[in-house]
Amino acid sequence: MHRLFMILYSIIGTSLAGAFVVAALVLRMDTLQPIIVAAAVGAVLALPVAWMVARRLAG
C-alpha cells in the first residue's frame, strides 16, 4: 500500500498544488510568496487525500 500511496501522491500532489496556484493567480496574488504558499498548501493537503484514496483502493 505504501507504493500505491507514493504513486497516487505524485499525481494528486501535483494536481492540488497546481489547482491552488491557479486559484492564487485568479485572485490576483501574482507575487512569489503567495504562489509558493499555495503550492505548499496543495502539496501538504494532498498527503491525507492520497492516503485515503490508497486505503480505499487497497481494499
Helix/strand/coil for 55: helix
pLDDT value of residue 59: 80
Give dist(CA 4, CA 55) in Å, integer. Answer: 9
The distance in angstroms from the start CA to the end CA of the chain is 10
**pLDDT tens column, 7-58:** 999 999 999 999 999 999 999 999 999 999 999 999 999 999 999 999 999 9
Domains in the chain, number? 1
In terms of residue numbers, what domain contains 30? 2-58
Instruction: Put residue 26 in one of left, alpha, beta given phi > 0 → left and psi -120 to 50 → alpha.
Output: alpha
Give dist(CA 43, CA 48) in Å, integer. Answer: 10
